[in-house]
């Protein structure tokens, strides 16, 4: 991790400096500088750092379970990890354009996405949960009929809400935290979001609760450019070795407790 952080800092500082002198595109600059910083090949991870504990910004750094998982994968492949933050939906466009090598952002495997990208084996099982105000009278997903639901733009939370809840009005936000803010000020009735981020979002908010019944069950995997089976295969081998060596369990227990969400 230390080494990667150092390289990333070099890229960012270098990018800003050279970019301001020459006025050239920052992505080109970042690439040439990162090559100088390491002899290793770079594995570029596209993410959306609004999703703690999987990916979020802490003291100007992108950290979280996915970032550390990607670090372990890069190590297995003998590569250097570089993380690029972007809008969640942009990840799916950045892959075919070769702007990133992998999309890793708590991405749920879905039929729609399989038409656009390939997925590695799954690395995390989760659920979609419903957040509501304690005094709202909403106790199960049946109570969401005809209601205003907030969800992050382009996520399965938004798609599934539109698909499975009758007469629903889905309002899409750039990040789930903004949906929760609107829930608290009464503009919307509930928020649908993945389990662990839901726990983070209600922390310290006494007026909010997470409904007991999950809205959907899902599995996260790493998205790869369609047809790049060589990289998909390599990452699947790396994932197996990370699981078998105990590194996965170690990382898991750093971020999650068994009682928080089911493994």
CB of 1 to ligand ARG, least distance (A): 20
Query: Is position 51 an interface residue for ligand ARG (rule: CB under 6 A)?
Result: yes
Residue 47, C-beta contacts closer than 8 angstroms, at least 6 positions apart: 55, 62, 66, 67, 83, 84, 85, 86, 91, 103, 104, 105
CB of 114 to ligand ARG, least distance (A): 12
Give 88 or 215: the residue with its C-beta nearer to ligand ARG: 88
Which CA distances in Å does 73 have to 133, 205, 248? Answer: 40, 36, 11
CB of 169 to ligand ARG, least distance (A): 19
Point out which residues pair with 173 in neighbouring strands.
152
Query: Is position 232 an interface residue for ligand ARG (rule: CB under 6 A)?
Result: no
* Residue 98-117 contact track with ligand ARG, rule CB under 6 A, x = bound: -------xxxx---------
Give 29 or 156: the residue with its C-beta nearer to ligand ARG: 156
Query: Is position 120 an interface residue for ligand ARG (rule: CB under 6 A)?
Result: no
Q: Which one of residues 4, 65, 88, 215 is an interface residue with ligand ARG (CB under 6 A)?
A: 88
Q: Which one of residues 34, 48, 120, 228 is an interface residue with ligand ARG (CB under 6 A)?
A: 48
Q: What is the DSSP letter of 86?
A: -
User: Following DSSP, what letter does each residue of 132-193 receive, concatenated?
Assistant: EETTS---SGGGGTT-EEEEETTSHHHHHHHHHSTT-EEEEESSHHHHHHHHHTTSSSEEEE
CB of 143 to ligand ARG, least distance (A): 22
Q: Where are the beta strands (DSSP E) in 8-147?
A: 42-47, 50-51, 55-58, 61-63, 80-85, 102-103, 117-133
CB of 99 to ligand ARG, least distance (A): 17
What is the distance between the alpha carbons of residues 145 and 156, in angstroms, rounded to a whole number?
18
Q: What is the DSSP letter of 104?
A: -
CB of 176 to ligand ARG, least distance (A): 7
What is the distance between the alpha carbons of residues 47 and 237, in angstroms, rounded to a whole number?
22
Q: What is the Rg, in whole angstroms, of the alpha carbon atoms belonging to the chain?
A: 19
CB of 50 to ligand ARG, least distance (A): 5
Give 220 or 248: the residue with its C-beta nearer to ligand ARG: 220
What is the distance between the alpha carbons of residues 182 and 151, in angstroms, rounded to a whole number?
11
* Residue 148-177 contact track with ligand ARG, rule CB under 6 A, x = bound: ----x--xx---------------------
Give 29 or 141: the residue with its C-beta nearer to ligand ARG: 141
Phi first, then psi, for residue 154 (nearest 5°) are 75, 10
Q: Which residues bind ligand ARG (CB under 6 A)?
A: 48, 50-51, 55, 88, 105-108, 152, 155-156, 194
């Amino acid at each position: 991790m230390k080494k990667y952080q150092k390289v990333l800092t070099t890229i960012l500082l270098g990018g800003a400096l050279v970019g301001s002198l020459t006025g050239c595109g920052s992505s080109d600059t970042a690439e040439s500088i990162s090559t100088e910083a390491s002899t290793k090949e770079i594995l570029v991870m596209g993410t959306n750092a609004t999703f703690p504990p999987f990916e979020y910004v802490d003291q100007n750094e992108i950290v979280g379970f996915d970032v550390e998982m990607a670090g372990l994968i890069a190590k297995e492949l003998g590569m250097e990890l570089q993380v690029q933050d972007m809008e969640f939906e942009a990840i799916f466009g950045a892959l075919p354009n070769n702007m990133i090598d992998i999309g890793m952002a708590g991405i749920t495997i879905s039929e729609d996405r399989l038409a656009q990208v390939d997925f590695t084996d799954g690395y995390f099982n989760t659920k979609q949960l419903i957040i509501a105000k304690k005094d709202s009278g909403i106790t199960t997903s049946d109570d969401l009929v005809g209601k205003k639901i907030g969800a992050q733009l382009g996520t399965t939370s938004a798609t599934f809400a539109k698909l499975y809840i009758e007469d629903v009005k889905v309002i899409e936000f750039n990040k789930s935290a903004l949906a929760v803010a609107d829930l608290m000020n009464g503009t919307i009735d509930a928020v649908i979001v993945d389990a662990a981020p839901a726990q983070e979002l209600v922390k310290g908010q006494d007026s909010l609760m997470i409904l007991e019944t999950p809205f959907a069950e899902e599995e996260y995997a790493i998205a790869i450019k369609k047809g790049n089976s060589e990289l998909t295969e390599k990452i699947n081998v790396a994932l197996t070795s990370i699981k078998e060596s105990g590194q996965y369990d170690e990382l898991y227990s750093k971020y999650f407790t068994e009682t928080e969400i089911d493994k």
